[in-house]
Amino acid sequence: MKYRLSPDKCRDSNIYKFNMNNDSGNEGTGFLEIIVTDAQTDMPLANVDIEVIKLTIFGQYAECGISELVVRYSTSVDGKIPLIELPVIEWPLSRYFAQLDIFGYHGVTLVNIPIYEGIKTIYHVKMNRITSPPAYLRDYIRTPTRLEYYTPPLWFY
């Protein structure tokens, strides 16, 4: 027995019309800063692979989704990546996620990253070393470390 998805089923959705990010036409942008350190020593971790992903959910019952890679970075020796400028998106139909991975440490997933217009969202991620035997495979973080107003320098424009 074959199951086929109707091509029109996932095309349009009118649920969840409120907009958490207050984006007024998707014209605004916000900023994302991620700092990565070792959980035991609090030392910065270099070469952590960070992928920021945009998930778009659609369908009559929000049963379909498409993810797209927005940007990929590796942390520098100070445990930071360049400041990322992201467009404000309509939540909950679109969401940002980030995956952090480095050899020898448990992976971390940042879920539902809030991006607000003119606001810098900051995550200070403390990665745990893998011990033998591993008790778990991945950490999940939902709440940012802090949010702050951010005015880019003049050379940014």
Model pTM above 0.95 = no
pLDDT at 139 over 80: no
Structural domain that includes position 124? 29-136
- As beta bridge partners, residue 44 has 37
Quick check: is 116 in a domain? yes
Q: Interior CA angle at 98 toward 80 and 67, to 5°?
A: 145
Give the C-alpha separation, 134 to 146, whole Å: 30
* Domains held by the chain: number: 1
Asked, for residue 1, whether it belongs to a domain, the answer is no
Q: Which residues contact 41 (CB under 8 A, 6 or more apart)?
A: none
- pLDDT at residue 20 in the model: 41
